[in-house]
C-alpha cells in the first residue's frame, strides 16, 4: 500500500469492467449460494451456528500460532454476530497476484486463507476451514475491521460482494480483527442463534486452547459468559468428572511436542463403569477416532499392564487385563495438533495420519511409566479398578453363556406389554415409549395400529449411569425396551436390526416425566448412541393447555401460545385446562395433539456437542444431588424442551 492513499485499488473500475479475479469471485459466490449445504453442512440451525464457528476458527488459528489471547463473540439484537480478536489483524496490503488487498482476497475468494498464512496448525477437517469467504457469501451483509500498524481499515460486503474497496478509516492502538455478519434470511430458514449451543463450543475451544480467553455476550438478553482455563485439558476432565466420585483428585496431565506434532492429554478415573473419552485434532472433535486415539489406547493399556506385572498385583486365576478393562470409569481428553491432518471416515472426523499413532503412543508410554513410578498411590488405584473390571468381565461372560440358551434377548419373544404395529417394514414404523400404564392405555387406543407400536414402561427405569452392564441386562423394563427395539446392545448392538425407524419418548410434562425421559435418554446415550447420531430418537410434545370457548377448542404447547389463543378467543367465557399428565387426555385427544404425524411436533434428539451432553447426563444422573437439584430448579420451565 502506498503512503497516504486511503483506498486500496482493486483493479475494478466503476464496478463495470470485471477483471479475471472478479469473475472468479462472482463464480465462487454463486457456487456457495447455490449449494450452501456443500460448504456448511445444511441451512438449518446446525449450518447457521457453523457460520460462527467458521469465523471464530480463524481467530483460533491466530491463537494457535501464538499471536492472539482474547476472542469475543457477540450476538447482537438483530442476530448479527460480531467476532473480535486481538491477533495481528488480517493483512491488508496488496496481494501479489490478485492485485487487490489481501483482506479482500480472504473475504471474497474461496479457499484463499492458506495462501499467505503460515500458521503452523490449521483447522481443515470436515466442514471446518471452508474459509470466512463462505460466511461472507451467505450473509446479507458483512463488515470487517482490521487494526494493523496503528491504522484501522474496513471493508463492507453484501451477499459476499464488496460494496467498496478496503478503506483506511482512522487510527487505532491495538492490532486485531473484528468481523460482523448477518446471516442471509434467503438462505437460512431461521436466523436465531442459541446461546447455549454457542456457549458449548466456546467452552470447548477454551479448554482446548489453554490460556485463551473467549467471551460470549448475548445483547438480546444481556447475558455474558467468559471461558478461560489455565489448566487446559486437565480442567476439561475435571469439568467432565464434576459430579462423579474420582479415584484421585488431580487429573494425570501432560503436554509434549514430537516431530512437529503437539500432544496434550488428561486422564482421571472415577468409580463409575462408563468411559468418557473425547479426542480432538486441531480443535476438531474426532468422533470417529483415528490414529491418535489408537496410539493412546495402546499406550494406556500397556502402561497399566506393565505396572500390574511389575508389582505382582494379579492373583492366580485372574485373567489378563485387556483394553476394555482400562476403559471402565475412564474420563480422558486427548488433543493433538497436527500440521497436515488427513481426515477420513464417513463424517471426516477420523484421523488418518499413520505417524501420529507412534508419536502419541511414545509420549503416553514415557509419561505414564514415570508418573506411575512417582505416584504409586494413584497407580495402585487405577490398577485395582482395572483388575476388578477384568474380573467382572469374566464373570459376566460366564453368566451370559449360561443365559444365552434361555434366549434372554431374543427377537422371537417380544415383550408381553408391547402393542406392536401390523406393518413390519422398519422404515415406516415407529414406537412410542410411554411412561405409565394408564397413558400407555390411551396411546394404545389412540394410535394408528398399522405403523405405531406402543411400549408402556412402568415407573422409573434403572439408572444406567450407576450400574454395570450385567445389572442393566437383568432389569425387566430395560430388557423389554431392548427386545422391542430389536437391535441388541453392547457387543451385540446392530443398528440395522432396529425394528422402528422412529423411536419416540412420550412422558408427562412435569418433573417426574422429565426425569423418566432423562433416564431413557441416558440409556440410549450410553448404550445405543448411534441411534441418536442417526437421528432416530425423538421426544413427543404433548400440549400443556387446552383452551375452550363454547364449541371451539385449541391446544397450546407453551405459555406464550396459551396467551395468544386466549387473546384470540377473547377473554370472556374462556376455559383453560392445564394438562399435568398424558393420562388426562382421552385417546382421541392424545392422537390429535401428540401422535398424528400430520399435526404433531416431534423434538429430534441430537448430539451436537457430545461433551456437553455427557456433562448434562452426569449432572442429571450422577451421584451428586446438589447440582441435579439446582439444574432441575433452574430449568424446570424449559425442561420439556430440553434438546440434549
Catalytic residue IDs: 435, 508, 510, 512
Q: What DSSP state is assigned to residue 592? A: I
Distance of alpha carbon 321 from alpha carbon 390, whole angstroms: 6
CB of 127 to ligand 0RA, least distance (A): 18
Helix or strand (DSSP H, E) at 585: none
b/e per residue 123-135 (b: at least 16 CB within 10 A):
bbbbbbbbbbbbb
Which parts of this chain interact with ligand 0RA (CB under 6 A)?
Answer: 58-59, 62, 85, 87-91, 116-117, 177
d(CA 489, CA 577): 42
Q: Which is nearer to ligand 0RA, 149 or 494 (CB)?
A: 149
* Closer of 87 and 426 to ligand 0RA (Cβ): 87
Return the number of the residue (177 or 241) whose C-beta is nearest ligand 0RA: 177
Query: In angstroms, rounded to a whole number, what is the distance separating the alpha carbons of residues 233 and 253?
Result: 8
Selection from 392, 543, 406, 394 nearest residue 471 by Cα: 392
Query: Rounded to an integer, what is the distance from CA 529 to the centroid of its chain?
Result: 13
- For 271-300, letters b (16+ CB in 10 Å) and e give ebbbebbbbbbbbbbbbbbbbbbbbbbbbb
Other CB atoms within a 10 A radius of the CB of residue 394 amount to 14
Task: Give 87 or 272: the residue with its C-beta nearer to ligand 0RA.
Answer: 87
Q: Which of 133/286 has CB closer to ligand 0RA?
A: 133
**Coil/strand/helix, residue 621:** helix
Burial state string for 228-240 with b = 16 or more CB within 10 A and e = fewer than 16: ebebbbbbbbbbb
Which run of H or E residues covers position 406?
A: none
CB of 68 or CB of 453, closer to ligand 0RA: 68
Shortest distance, position 13 Cβ to ligand 0RA, whole Å = 28
DSSP code at position 8: E
Q: Please report how close the Cβ of residue 217 comes to ligand 0RA at its closest, in angstroms.
A: 18
Residue 485 Cα distances to 371, 400, 441, 455, 474, angstroms: 45, 20, 20, 10, 17
Task: Specify the residue, 91 or 126, whose C-beta has the smaller distance to ligand 0RA.
Answer: 91
Taking the complex as a whole, how short is the minimal distance between the CB of residue 87 and ligand 0RA, in angstroms?
3
How far is residue 277's CA from residue 247's CA, in Å, rounded to a whole number?
A: 16
CB of 83 to ligand 0RA, least distance (A): 8
DSSP 539-556: EE---SEEEEETTEEEEE
CA dist 208 and 335 (Å) reads 7
CB of 78 to ligand 0RA, least distance (A): 22
What is the nearest approach in angstroms of ligand 0RA to the Cβ of residue 442? 56
Three-state SS string over 460-495 comes to CCCCHHHCCHHHHHCCHHHHHHHHHHCCCCHHHCCH
Contact indicator for 117, 163 with CB cutoff of 8 Å: no
SS3 224: strand
Task: Give alpha helix (H) positions in 36-187.
Answer: 36-40, 45-64, 102-108, 132-137
CA dist 72 → 69, 301, 478, 513 (Å): 10, 41, 46, 38
Q: How far is the CB of 256 from ligand 0RA (least distance, A)?
A: 27
Q: Shortest Cβ distance from residue 157 to ligand 0RA (Å)?
A: 15
Give the residue with the Cβ less far from ligand 0RA, 59 or 282. 59
- Closer to ligand 0RA at the Cβ: 25 or 123? 123
Please name every residue paired with 257 in a beta bridge, in sequence order, or none if there are none.
262
- Kindly tell me which of 54 and 614 has the beta carbon lying closer to ligand 0RA: 54
User: What is the chain's alpha carbon radius of gyration, rounded to the nearest angstrom?
Assistant: 28
* Of residues 9 and 117, the one with the C-beta less far from ligand 0RA: 117
Q: Is 95:19 a contact under the CB 8 Å cutoff?
A: no
Buried-state track 525-547, b at ≥16 Cβ within 10 A, e below 16:
bbbbbebbeeebbbbbbbbbbbb
Least distance (Å) from ligand 0RA to the CB of residue 100? 16
Taking the CA of residue 148 as centre, how many other CA atoms within 13 Å lie in the half-sphere pointing to its CB?
Answer: 18
Show the CA angle centred on residue 364, arms to residues 361 and 366, nearest 5°: 105
> Parallel, antiparallel, or unpaired: how do β-strands 213-218 and 223-227 relate?
antiparallel
| Residues 186 and 164: beta-carbon distance below 8 Å | no
CB of 126 to ligand 0RA, least distance (A): 19
Amino acid at each position: 500500500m502506498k503512503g497516504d492513499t486511503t483506498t486500496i485499488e482493486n483493479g475494478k473500475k466503476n464496478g463495470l469492467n470485471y477483471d479475471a479475479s472478479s469473475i472468479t469471485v462472482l463464480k465462487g459466490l454463486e457456487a456457495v449460494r447455490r449449494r450452501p449445504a456443500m460448504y456448511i453442512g445444511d441451512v438449518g440451525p446446525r449450518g447457521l451456528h457453523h457460520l460462527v464457528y467458521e469465523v471464530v476458527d480463524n481467530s483460533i488459528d491466530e491463537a494457535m500460532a501464538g499471536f492472539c489471547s482474547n476472542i469475543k463473540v457477540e450476538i447482537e439484537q438483530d442476530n448479527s454476530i460480531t467476532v473480535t480478536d486481538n491477533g495481528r489483524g488480517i493483512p491488508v496490503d496488496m496481494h501479489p497476484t490478485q492485485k487487490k488487498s489481501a483482506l479482500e482476497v480472504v473475504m471474497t475468494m474461496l479457499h484463499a486463507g492458506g495462501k499467505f498464512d503460515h500458521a503452523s496448525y490449521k483447522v481443515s477437517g470436515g466442514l471446518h476451514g471452508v474459509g470466512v469467504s463462505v460466511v461472507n457469501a451467505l450473509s446479507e451483509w458483512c463488515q470487517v475491521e482490521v487494526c494493523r500498524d496503528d491504522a484501522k481499515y474496513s471493508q463492507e460486503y453484501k451477499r459476499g460482494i464488496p460494496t467498496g474497496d478496503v478503506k483506511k478509516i482512522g487510527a487505532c492502538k491495538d492490532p486485531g480483527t473484528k468481523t460482523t455478519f448477518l446471516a442471509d434470511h434467503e438462505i437460512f430458514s431461521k436466523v436465531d442463534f442459541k446461546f447455549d449451543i454457542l456457549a458449548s463450543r466456546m467452552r470447548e475451544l477454551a479448554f482446548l486452547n489453554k490460556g485463551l480467553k473467549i467471551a460470549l455476550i448475548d445483547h438480546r438478553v444481556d447475558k455474558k459468559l467468559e471461558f478461560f482455563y489455565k489448566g487446559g485439558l486437565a480442567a476439561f476432565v475435571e469439568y467432565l468428572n464434576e459430579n462423579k466420585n474420582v479415584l484421585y483428585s488431580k487429573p494425570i496431565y501432560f503436554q509434549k511436542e514430537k516431530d512437529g506434532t503437539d500432544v496434550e492429554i488428561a486422564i482421571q478415573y472415577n468409580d463409575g463403569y462408563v468411559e468418557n473419552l473425547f479426542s480432538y485434532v486441531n480443535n476438531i472433535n474426532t468422533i470417529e477416532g483415528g490414529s491418535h486415539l489408537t496410539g493412546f489406547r495402546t499406550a494406556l493399556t500397556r502402561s497399566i499392564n506393565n505396572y500390574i506385572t511389575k508389582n505382582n498385583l494379579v492373583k492366580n486365576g485372574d485373567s489378563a487385563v485387556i483394553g476394555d478393562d482400562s476403559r471402565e470409569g475412564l474420563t480422558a481428553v486427548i488433543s493433538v495438533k497436527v500440521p497436515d491432518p488427513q481426515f477420513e471416515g464417513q463424517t471426516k472426523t477420523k484421523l488418518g495420519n499413520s505417524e501420529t499413532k507412534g508419536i502419541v503412543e511414545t509420549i503416553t508410554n514415557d509419561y505414564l511409566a514415570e508418573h506411575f513410578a512417582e505416584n504409586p498411590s494413584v497407580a495402585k488405584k487405577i490398577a485395582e479398578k482395572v483388575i476388578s473390571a477384568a474380573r467382572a468381565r469374566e464373570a459376566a461372560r460366564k453368566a451370559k453363556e449360561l443365559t444365552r440358551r434361555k434366549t434372554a434377548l431374543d427377537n422371537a419373544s417380544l415383550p408381553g406389554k408391547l402393542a406392536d404395529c401390523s406393518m413390519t417394514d422398519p422404515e415406516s414404523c415407529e414406537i412410542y415409549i410411554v411412561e405409565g400404564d394408564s397413558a400407555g392405555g390411551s396411546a394404545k387406543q389412540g394410535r394408528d395400529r398399522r405403523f405405531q407400536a406402543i411400549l408402556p414402561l412402568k415407573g422409573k427405569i434403572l439408572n444406567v449411569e450407576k450400574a454395570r452392564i450385567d445389572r442393566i441386562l437383568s432389569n425387566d423394563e430395560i430388557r423389554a425396551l431392548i427386545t422391542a427395539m430389536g437391535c441388541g446392545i453392547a457387543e451385540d448392538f446392530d443398528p440395522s436390526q432396529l425394528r422402528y425407524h422412529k423411536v419416540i419418548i412420550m412422558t408427562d410434562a412435569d418433573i417426574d416425566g422429565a426425569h423418566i425421559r432423562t433416564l431413557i435418554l441416558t440409556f440410549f446415550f450410553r448404550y445405543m448412541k448411534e441411534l441418536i447420531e442417526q437421528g432416530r430418537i425423538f421426544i413427543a410434545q404433548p400440549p400443556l393447555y387446552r383452551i375452550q370457548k363454547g364449541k371451539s377448542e385449541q391446544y397450546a404447547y407453551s405459555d406464550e401460545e396459551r396467551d395468544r389463543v386466549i387473546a384470540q378467543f377473547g377473554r370472556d367465557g374462556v376455559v383453560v385446562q392445564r394438562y399435568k399428565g398424558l393420562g388426562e387426555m382421552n385417546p382421541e385427544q392424545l392422537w390429535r395433539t401428540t401422535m398424528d404425524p400430520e399435526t404433531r411436533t416431534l423434538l429430534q434428539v441430537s448430539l451436537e456437542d457430545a461433551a456437553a451432553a455427557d456433562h448434562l447426563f452426569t449432572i442429571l444422573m450422577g451421584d451428586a444431588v446438589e447440582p441435579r437439584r439446582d439444574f432441575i430448579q433452574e430449568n424446570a420451565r424449559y425442561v420439556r424442551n430440553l434438546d440434549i
